[in-house]
Amino acid sequence: MERTFLMIKPEGVERGLIGEIIGRFERRGFKIVALKLTKMTRECAERQYEEHRGKEFFNDLVSYISSAPVVMFVIEGEDAIATAREMAGATDPKQAKPGTIRADYGIDVQRNVIHASDSKESAYREIALHFGVLS
């Protein structure tokens, strides 16, 4: 069993997509092991996207993700990381495969509705950052 971190971004929360997005993971057979609605501080957002520090879009990304509430959750199941990334789709909704979350609901590269950890290391770091150690 594997765990991964997911986050419904501000526009997904504002557009009322929380249940639809979480439901996709549940229907796929994943177990939700942690869930919270929160508004990230700028400091927390900077830590979330630390790997992008120094890139031209970093400040806009941090400002956006900390501008309104987000829903963070952790799923558990076989191949959770790879499957969640596949379900999320390409970062740019215009390039995402039909039927993925970003293709169905994303607006543009920044407002692409969902964040999904991209590796075991990222999943571990992001889960610890937002939920501490889960048993």
DSSP 36-93: EEE---HHHHHHHTGGGTTSTTHHHHHHHHTSS-EEEEEEEETTHHHHHHHHH--SST
Q: Which of 9, 85, 115, 130 is catalytic?
A: 115
Active site residue 52: no
Cα separation of 134 and 53, whole Å?
27
- State the catalytic residues: 115
